[in-house]
Amino acid sequence: MNKTSKILLVLMAIMTTLTLWANHPWLTRVYEYRPAPGQFINTLPVCRVGEPVDSVLARCHRSICGYVDTVTQSIHGQVVTQIDTVWTPGMITLGGYGGYVIVAFDHPVVNMHTWDFDIMGNAFVSEQEATGGSSEPGIVMVGVDADGDGVPSDGDRWYELAGSEYGHPKTQHDYTITYYRPDEGKQRTPSATYPDLIDTTYIHWTSNDVDPDSTSGYMSRNIHHMQPYWPLWLQSEDQLTYHGAKLRCNAVDLGGTEGNSYFVQYFFDWGYVDNLPNHPYRQPGVEGFNPGFKIDWAVDENGNHVNLTHIDFIKVYNGVNQYCGWLGETSTEIAGGIDFHPDAEIPQIQPGDVNDDGVVNISDVNVLIGMILTGTSGIPAADVNNDGSINVSDVNAVIGRILQ
């Protein structure tokens, strides 16, 4: 076989492999990584003092994103090049409450009205308690690139995927926490309660918790993780503030006595990252225990369901402010993500066809008025003038379309 034939064979192999997926099924982009302080910070991923943000994002990318690798080999005397999707078995931590990462695929994730995607963590089942183990739930936000600039920005719209705890009376939907950068040179002292802890007042925090006894506290440093817990590339920032929903604490010490603690973090039913063992884990006797996430769970800031055709960005943040003795703070970990339908196409929306019957008429006006009166949002066809809200201007726009 001459050189030209070999080159053509390689190109054909590449094109054949590329047709398997028009879109990449794994996460491919990390737009922002802003973890809260925590015991795995600066190790998952490894980071250095003064490291540029782009370098930190690149480390995150290598840890949680798939990548395309070209493999060339000889098969029956012919040189064949294949493009394989390689899963990188890494992980990043989000630290304490509020720490987050914003990621995306190389394409929009289409709402198929079923299990649309999954973001993996490192949760596992306890040997002593089947309904819990290591569960560090992260809340999922989904973003739509409303301004069309291809990156998460102020002009975009974000919605929460309402998991099983969204309506729980102990879920606080307007929670804010601020961490204060510690003095790394101060004396470390053991805790009388937990002798393995070398500094119980390491990182101070304050919050607006509805429980007056939980409006301030400390993130302890433990003897198992001695590196700085404050993100090293954020040394110029004296405070880190995070805002979102806070889930109820899910940890119980089943040991019950000093020196014999055995913490179990109980699983929430569904809807959170790093809450349940990864897909396709099944709880005994319960089918479909952790099959991923549905875009249909999306709600707006008022808790109203929104009907999204697709999403462009995914944000995951730690939803629990909880400390578990010698185990340290509860910190959501991310170990990658997958779109279950990477080649699905976004359905075409006819502006004004609010009831989705294929035509724009007086019925759509009636439905639209009802949406305005009830505060319903998130139906793309209802935002006729594409200004980001549904109001009387959209009613006028629909009437204008009918009269055309």
Per-residue pLDDT, 380: 79
More confident residue, 193 or 104: 104
Per-residue pLDDT, 89: 64
Average pLDDT over residues 28-40: 97
Sign of CA dihedral 104, 107, 113, 115: negative
Which H helix or E strand runs over 246?
Answer: strand 239-246
Per-residue pLDDT, 12: 40
Per-residue pLDDT, 284: 47
* pLDDT tier, 7 (very low <50, low <70, confident <90, very high otherwise): very low
Average pLDDT over residues 288-304: 86
Quote the CA–CA distance of 183 and 185 in Å, as a whole number.
5
Q: Could you report the per-residue pLDDT of 246-287, keeping only the tens digit for each?
A: 999 999 999 866 667 899 999 999 999 999 988 654 444 444
Average pLDDT over residues 102-107: 97
Average pLDDT over residues 205-220: 95
More confident residue, 205 or 125: 205
Per-residue pLDDT, 255: 84
Quote the CA–CA distance of 372 and 304 in Å, as a whole number.
12
Quote the CA–CA distance of 395 and 43 in Å, as a whole number.
54
CA distance readout (Å), 292 to 99, 117, 171: 21, 6, 22
Per-residue pLDDT, 258: 61
* pLDDT tier, 9 (very low <50, low <70, confident <90, very high otherwise): very low
For the entire predicted model, the pTM comes to 0.84
Among 119-128, 280-289, 350-359, the least confident range? 280-289
Residues 6+ apart with CB under 8 A from 251: 263, 264, 265, 266, 322, 324, 330
Q: Could you report the per-residue pLDDT of 140-185, keeping only the tens digit for each?
A: 999 999 889 999 999 899 999 999 999 999 999 999 999 999 998 8
Strand ranges (E), 18-66? 29-34
Q: At what angle do helices 362-374 and 392-403 cross, to 10 degrees?
A: 180
Residue 351 CB neighbours (<10 A): 18
